[in-house]
Amino acid sequence: MANPSSWALGVAATAIGVALSYTQWLAPKVEAEPMATAASTTSRAPAPRGPTTLAVAADYRGHYIVHPTIDNYRVKMMVDTGASIVALTADDARALGIKPDRQGRRMMLNTANGAVAATSTMLREIRLGEIIVRNVEAVVMPPGALSMSLLGNSFLGKLQGYEVQTGRMVLRG
């Protein structure tokens, strides 16, 4: 029989895969601008918009799965308020063109599954709906360490705020 941590990672990966099939998106709230009347002949500057919000429904396990664009590449990620930093799987980092062996510095991270060596990197931009966050610190995890990339506090901390209410997470950019 395989060691218990390998078995647990396999069970977790399977559960996350099943959870992804039940993920729902709620569209960000956008207020309509008033229509111009025929009598108005002067052009007006667009009214300043308030903070952009995005609501994400929890899956049946209570996880929040999002699909942000990182440097023009769409990535499937789980929002993890307990993660201090954005963590990319080795596959997602490769797709983004990040070569951890040539870029960044090695660092040890304490995870739920023990200490893991990862490589630091800086992401130019993460775009989630209308929310855009630039210069986000991240790490690239070694192959097999994560089944899905994590959207941690190096992103969430740059938002105006976020909250969980009745089965959904509301992000304010």
| CB within 8 Å of 53: residues ≥ 6 apart | 28, 29, 170, 171, 172, 173
- Range from 13-22, 24-33, 69-78, 149-158 carrying the lowest mean pLDDT: 24-33
Write the CATH number of the domain with boundaries 57-173. Answer: 2.40.70.10
Model confidence pLDDT, tens digit, residues 109-148: 888 778 889 999 999 999 999 999 999 999 999 999 999 9
**Domain spans of the chain?**
57-173
Residue 102's pLDDT is 65
Measured CA to CA, the distance from residue 37 to residue 17 in angstroms comes to 51
Residue 26's pLDDT is 34
What is the average per-residue pLDDT within 13-20?
42
pTM of the model: 0.70
Sheet holding 161-165, edge to edge: 53-57, 168-172, 161-165
Q: How confident is the model at residue 64 (pLDDT cuts 50, 70, 90)?
A: very high
Residue 132's pLDDT is 96
> Is the confidence at residue 53, as pLDDT, over 80?
yes
Residue 31's pLDDT is 37
Q: How confident is the model at residue 76 (pLDDT cuts 50, 70, 90)?
A: very high
